[in-house]
Amino acid sequence: MKKYNIPVEAALEVIGGKWKVVILCHLIDNGTLRTSQLKRMMPNITQKMLTQQLRELEADGVVNRIIYNQVPPKVEYELTEYGNSLAPALQMLCSWGEQHIEKTISEGEDVLVISGENE
């Protein structure tokens, strides 16, 4: 039996950690992606950690793993319908992050935001 004190604990059980939300945001923004594409978008994650996080998201029913029977093997990841239900919450979190960055800059702190648009 799982026990939660407040519902956010259940959410964090699925999306908690340093990388899961980042993975989910990339899948929301870009649709279906191969592991190598995710790795390029997240240069600071190790291959082992990326694989582990994707497997956990798959086990929780948030991400679908598509395996193509070809040589060399091809694997893609996409959000499930259940995973897509996270999009509004994650988009709100991204908006808050943008506001936080602006606040940090306005307080005189140096901030570097690296995104596909700046590369």
Tell whether 118 is covered by a domain. Answer: no
117 part of a folded domain: no
- Please give the Cα distance from 58 to 92 (Å, whole number): 23
pLDDT one-digit tens code per residue, 23-74: 999 999 999 999 999 999 999 999 999 999 999 999 999 999 999 999 888 9
pTM comes to 0.86
In this structure, is residue 113 part of a structural domain?
no
Answer whether residue 115 is part of any domain. no
Q: How far apart are CA 28 and CA 52, in angstroms?
A: 19
**Where does the pLDDT of residue 118 fall: very low under 50, low under 70, confident under 90, or very high at 90 and above?**
very low
Q: How many domains in the chain?
A: 1
DSSP conformational letter for 82? H
Q: What is the pLDDT of residues 94-110, one digit of tens each?
A: 899 999 999 999 999 99
Q: What is the CATH number of the domain that holds 59?
A: 1.10.10.10
Determine, yes or no, domain membership for 114: no
Structural domain includes residue 119 = no
Residue 75: pLDDT above 70? yes
Contact 64, 79 (CB under 8 A): yes
Assigned domain for 1 exists: no
The 3 state secondary structure assigned to 23-78 is: HHHHHHHHCCEEHHHHHHHCCCCCHHHHHHHHHHHHHCCCEEEEEECCCCCEEEEE
Domain that residue 50 falls in: 7-107
